[in-house]
Amino acid sequence: MVLSGSDKTNVKGVFAKIGGQVEEYGAEALERMFATYPPTKTYFPHFDVSPGSAQVKAHGKKVAAALVEAANHIDDIATALSKLSDLHAQKLRVDPVNFKLLGQCFLVVVAIHNPSVLTPEVHASLDKFLCAVGSVLTAKYR
């Protein structure tokens, strides 16, 4: 999956529109993921995963920051997220299927808060971007 020039423009545009709210988007995406796909909670036995949890909010900020970092270095996501990629491969080992689930939830959050931004073309670009991020994070798994 290769991000075209217009994909990159679309993705940067989305994150520019979202601005500082992105941290809340991260938290809401996680909350929705836990509600919609309960098995994803198995990766957070040490968390309070109930809605509004401070731990989920904090973790949402981290997730959002990583997405922003990837968007800001969209020409080389692999380098930008290299440390995170190592972390997921060596320590976290989240099954690859779960990145799609979080990606779906992030798209839902964007759709809810910015329906006019999520045109079909932008939807396609953002979906590709989220896939690319997931691929990078699982690239060193084996």
Partner 1 sequence: MVHWTAEEKQLIASLWGKVNVEECGAEALARLLIVYPWTQRFFDNFGNLSSPTAIIGNPKVRAHGKKVLTSFGEAVKNLENLKATYSKLSELHCEKLHVDPENFRLLGDILIIVLAAHFTKDFTPACQATWQKLVGVVAHALAYKYH
Residues of this chain that bind partner 1 (CB under 8 A): 31-32, 35-37, 51, 104-105, 107-108, 111-113, 115, 118-121, 123-124, 127
Nearer to partner 1, 33 or 67 (CB): 33
Distance CA 27, CA 55 (A): 9
- Find the shortest distance in angstroms from Cβ 17 to partner 1: 14
The answer to whether the CB of 141 falls within 8 A of the CB of 89 is yes
* Pick 67 or 101: Cβ nearer partner 1: 101
How far, in Å, CA of 129 to CA of 7, rounded?
8
Tell the smallest beta-carbon distance from residue 39 to partner 1 (Å): 13
Which residues have a Cβ under 8 Å from the Cβ of 107 and sit 6 or more positions away? 118, 123, 126, 127, 130
Minimum CB–partner distance for residue 90 and partner 1 (Å):
30
